[in-house]
Amino acid sequence: MAVAFLVVLFLIKTGFVFKNPFSSSKQENGLTYSNATIRDLVNKDTDGDGIPDWEESLWGTDPTKKETTPGISDSVAIEKLKIQQEISGQINGTNQKPENITQTDQFSRDLFATVVMLNQNGEVDQATVDKLGSSLAENIQNSAPQKIFSLIDLKISTDNSFQAIKKYSDTLDNIYQKISTKYTVIDVLQKFAPDENDVDVSALSGLNPIIKQISNSIDGMKKTEVPQSLALLHLDLINGLQRLEENLNDIKLYDTDIIVALGGISKYGQNAIALESIVDNLANAISKKLNN
């Protein structure tokens, strides 16, 4: 019956849950240093001239004065330096067009800016490094879900009879019967990173069949006629699977966008545990209706 599909689901009871290595009792948005976020530090402008302190230190101007050179505002001085650098780059053939950067690139630049500013203020000591390290762990988290399904995406039936529930249960069984897997996500991750000093990015290709199976399961469940009384639970399950599919796709980006990949691993553990709870809720609801 459908309970078997929900409990097994090819990735719940076969080593699907992955311990979250970046879990924390306190989660905040952004890299934090003491009570400030990285954006606060990056945007800090002591003299209020519209130029962040860290950028002024890069151009050699005084972040505490609007006019490092009396009579010439820092904004004008920096603009001239930028123009000179651009001209120099064009002459040397090194001028580059604006780029599309990854989250890892952006994070690295933000982190660099933070360290520059802290170093300028003489605050980079071991304690500061430790705080930045802890904040980095908290920051490594997956982006918001890319896709969230709603009830309008489902085929909902007003028939909540025993026969309708049984048909729904059998349909889920049929979806489960089409699922076959020789290994689990954990098997892939263990091959990918058998220990902290060894990483084999090519092993992540093993996630492709699992991702495809999750996608096929989502498609099958969207096409399933769902009794209205189970619609919300059914929707929760689809969205739970969708989040896991996105997590696995993020993990595959390890070679090109490590921040996104590590965030995928982090959220994968949380979402797997959440999905197990969703599975239990739907399984219990089906059993209760079939046994009444």
Q: What is the span of the domain harbouring residue 50?
A: 32-139
**H-type alpha helices, 70-229:** 74-91, 103-120, 126-139, 162-177, 185-192, 207-223
Is residue 145's pLDDT more than 90?
no
Least confident of 18-27, 96-105, 107-116, 167-176: 18-27
- Residue 27 domain flag: no
CA distances from 229 to 7, 233, 240, 285, 286 (A): 20, 9, 19, 9, 10
pLDDT greater at residue 245 or residue 80:
245
Determine the Cα angle at 160 with ends 155 and 163, to 5°: 100
Q: How many domains does the chain have?
A: 2
Q: What is the phi-psi region of residue 84: left when phi exceeds 0, alpha when psi lies from -120 to 50, beta otherwise?
A: alpha
Is residue 13's pLDDT more than 60?
no
Domain boundary among the residues 84, 113, 139 is at 139
Q: Are residues 117 and 249 in the same domain?
A: no
Coil, strand or helix at 179: coil
Domain boundary among the residues 139, 171, 189 is at 139
Q: Are residues 119 and 9 in the same domain?
A: no
* pLDDT the model gives residue 227: 95
Q: Are residues 85 and 228 in the same domain?
A: no
- Residue 110 domain flag: yes
pLDDT greater at residue 203 or residue 173:
203
Place of tokens 């067009």: 97
Alpha carbons 171 and 4: distance in angstroms, whole number = 12
pLDDT band (50, 70, 90) for residue 88: low
pLDDT band (50, 70, 90) for residue 19: very low
Q: Are residues 216 and 89 in the same domain?
A: no
Q: Are residues 9 and 43 in the same domain?
A: no
SS (HEC) of 167-178: HHHHHHHHHHHC
Q: Are residues 281 and 162 in the same domain?
A: yes
- Residue 233 domain flag: yes
Q: Tell me the mean pLDDT in the region 38-55.
A: 74
- Residue 256 domain flag: yes
pLDDT greater at residue 204 or residue 142:
204
